[in-house]
Structure 1
Amino acid sequence: MKVEIWSDIVCPFCYIGKRKFEQALQQFGDKEDIDIVWRSFQLMPDIQPKPGQNTYAMLAETKGISQQQAKQMSDHVTTVAAEVGLTYHLDKAVVANTLNAHRLTHLAAKHGLQDKAEERLFTAYFTEAKDINDHEVLAQLGTEIGLDADEVRQMLQSDAYAEEVKHDQYQARQVGVRGVPFFVFNDRYAVSGAQPSDVFLGALQQSWSEWKREKPTVLASADAAADGAFCGPDGNC
């Protein structure tokens, strides 16, 4: 059964939502039969980072708030992340356009490594303060998850997968995505935001029971919502 997740690499609640969904998946008895597909969503597709600009300055500029307010918002998100075992260093995060990072996830999907790519990119951005728009950084990250560095470099030097990223965002508009993370279960049920894990578990169980009734032959051969915290398209988290 398919679960699609619209997400952006620089969305703090997307990484938190990933962890909460994974907690639910660990409790789900048929987790091996869940096909997770990551979909690209850019919160700030036109952002052009300024040299030396940190996340506090960027947030202050884009949201029209003070840097102190931006720091308080970031501190809150860091605390929420810690509750699910994640370490955020938003004071050191490198402001970046995420198009190239999303293109890397599509290349990774071709090799069955998309979930690993998402995890590695999240860690690189939120914990390690890496520039996820830098080609050499992305080549290194790709190598770490099992991709060929030269293939990653060649992809980045072209426009490969740019259309796939755009198509994901087109699909997001079609299904009514207003913020990320956004989860769609079996093309039928949606969960918006970094919900508690029991919400994700309930969605898995409900969509699985319906999918099982609709796909009995597939199963036989294989075996023989209130919004949570999210980031909006203007970068609002």
Structure 2
Amino acid sequence: MNTAKMQVEIWSDIACPFCYIGKRNFESGIEKFADAANINVTWKSFQLDPTLPEKTTVDHEQYLVKYKGLPADRVNQMLQQVAQSAKAAGLDFHFEKIATVNSFNAHRLIQLAKTKGLGDAAEERLFKAYFTEGKNIADRITLTELGKEIGLTENEVTDALTSETYAAKANEDIDEARQLGIRGVPFFVLDRKYAVSGAQPAEVFTQTLEKAFSEWRAKNPETAFEVTEGPSCTADGNCG
């Protein structure tokens, strides 16, 4: 029996507000997709600003003004608009709480979580910690607690944050994004054939999934056994 699934890869950075919004919109889109059970989602690391320190030095608004060179009035307006977009997606953003720090340690945690089938859980918890709770996602104690919340052990998280194994995995994703020409996130790649850039509406994800999957299914047809029935026993104890 064919158990293959179509692959969807999502390049994302925890420090990106539209990555969180895009995650919600993608989830809403895939809920309306009839073949969702045949989709395998993989989260990929991306860093918008690898130069940031691991400790907060400025608040998020100051960071955008001072280090990104954006006008203060534009920043204020932009953050209000993003917060409204988040609210429409069912999210609660608090930009005034954000600890503007380097996201690489968070990506190490995500890479560990992926090996345990917890990649989506890690993304979700880290997004909430960053945008809603104002937690420092570079702090190792904080990351240990967040990791434990989603089912990882303290030793596993410590290893992920101290060894080079998971740093290398994060850098592989970042390098791959560069090779593919990905310059912004979120970036959704479906079956390495179609891509959706940005936090598009849910219906865009549904439509793109349907298109990509129909082509994938044509190349990967469902198979089933032709069964000749005979006397047998079932797990519930019936024999006959």
Does TM-score exceed 0.5, indicating one fold? yes
Aligned counterpart, 2:235: none
Aligned counterpart, 1:132: 137
Give, in whole Å, the separation in 2 of the partners of 1:221 and 1:78. Answer: 48
Give, in whole Å, the separation in 2 of the partners of 1:126 and 1:17. Answer: 14
Which is further off, 142-151 or 7-16? 142-151
Q: 1:195-210 alignment to 2 at 5 Å?
A: 195-210=200-215
Which is further off, 120-129 or 148-157? 148-157
TM-score (norm 1): 0.89
SS for the counterpart of 1:75 is helix
Which is further off, 33-42 or 148-157? 148-157
Give, in whole Å, the separation in 2 of the partners of 1:49 and 1:73. Answer: 25
Deviation >6 Å, runs of 4+: none
SS for the counterpart of 2:95 is coil
Structure showing greater radius of gyration is: 2
Aligned counterpart, 2:3: none
The alpha carbon displacement at 1:166 in A equals: 1.2
Alignment RMSD? 1.6
The alpha carbon displacement at 1:49 in A equals: 5.7
SS for the counterpart of 2:42 is strand
Give, in whole Å, the separation in 1 of the partners of 2:95 and 2:165. Answer: 30
Amino acid at match of 2:68: K
- 1:23 equivalent to 2:23? Answer no
Question: Out of 109, 113, 116, which is 1:108 matched to?
Answer: 113
TM-score (norm 2): 0.88
The alpha carbon displacement at 1:154 in A equals: 2.3
Closer, same or farther: CA 221–37 of 1 in aligned 2, 3 Å? farther
SS for the counterpart of 1:166 is helix
Q: Which blocks of at least 5 consecutive residues in structure 1 are unaligned? A: 225-237
The alpha carbon displacement at 1:153 in A equals: 1.4
Amino acid at match of 1:141: L
The alpha carbon displacement at 1:50 in A equals: 6.2
- 1:60 equivalent to 2:74? Answer no
Question: Out of 33, 36, 39, which is 1:34 matched to?
Answer: 39
Amino acid at match of 1:38: W
Which is further off, 132-141 or 54-63? 54-63
Q: Percent identity of the aligned residues?
A: 48
Aligned counterpart, 2:223: 220
